[in-house]
Amino acid sequence: MPDETIPETATDEAAVEGTDADTDTDTDEIAGEVRDRLALALDVDDLVAGTRLAKALAPYFGVAKIGLELYSAAGPDAIGALTGLGYDVFLDLKLHDIPNTVNKSSRVLGALGVSYLTYHAHGGVDMLKAGVEGLNEGASNAGLDAPDSLAVTVLTSDADAPDHIVPKRVAISLEAGCTGVVCAVADLQEVHHYAPRMLRVTPGIRMAGAQTHDQARAATPAEAIAGGSDLLVIGRAVTAADDPVEAAEQLVAEILS
C-alpha cells in the first residue's frame, strides 16, 4: 500500500463535522498504526450522506470505498468529493466483461484519481490483464501513479465456494499482473502462500459479537490484522451504528488492544 502522508485537510478539526476533538483516541496513533489500513465502505445512495459520513470518520479511516450503490448514484463526482477530503479512493465495481470493454472502462477510471479498482477474478487472465493495462494507461495519461488493481477471489457472502477456487483465482490474478486480491480473512494465509507479495484486502469485518448481516465469512478486526490483511474494509459495523464515531473508536481500540 502507498505510504503517504495524509493531507491536513483530512484531519483538520474545522473540516470534520460531527467529531469531538477531545476523544479518548490519539489520532496521531491512529494515523501511524491503523488509519491507513482501514477502508470506510460508503454503501449509501446519496453523495451528501456519504460525504457527511466521510467527514465525521476521517480521523479513523485513510481509504474510502465507493461501491456500486454510491457510484450508480453519483458517478465520478463521488471520487472527486472523497479525494478532496484527503481519502485514497477504493472504487469497488468488480468489473467483469469482455477484455476490450474492461480495458476501456479501466482507462477512464484510472484517469479519475482512484487508488484501488476491483475486478472479478472469474473473468479470467485476459480480462484481468486488459483491465490492469487500461488502468495503468489511464493513470499515466493523467500524470498519476498507477493504482492498485485488485482481483476479487470469492465474495464473502459465498459460503459454498469449492476449496480449489481461491488458489486458482489467485494464480490467475498474479499471471494477469494484478497487484492485490480481495479475499475473506479465512483465506489470508492461503493467498500469502501462493502470492506473498500481493496486497491482501479483506471485507466482511465485524467487531466481536456484532451482527454479521449477509457476510457468511465475517471476521473480527483483530483476526484480520493477525492474519496479515493489508487493508480492512469496514462498512455497516460502523456506518449503520447508532453512533458511527463511537463505533469507529471501538474498532480502533479493538485493533490496538
Which of the residues are catalytic?
A: 94
Q: Which residues contact 180 (CB under 8 A, 6 or more apart)?
A: 116, 148, 149, 150, 151, 198, 199, 200, 201, 230
Q: Please give the Cα distance from 181 to 195 (Å, whole number).
A: 9
C-alpha cell belonging to residue 61: 479511516
Q: CA-CA distances (angstroms) from residue 222 to 114, 191, 207, 227, 234?
A: 27, 18, 9, 8, 13
DSSP string across 36-61: GGEEEE---S-HHHHHHHHHHTTTT-
* Contact status, residue 35 vs residue 3, Cβ threshold 8 Å: no
* Contact status, residue 130 vs residue 102, Cβ threshold 8 Å: yes
Q: Which amino acid is at 189?
A: Q
- Which stretch of DSSP H or E encloses residue 117? strand 116-120
| Residue whose cell numbers read 472502462 | 105
Q: Please give the Cα distance from 172 to 151 (Å, whole number).
A: 9
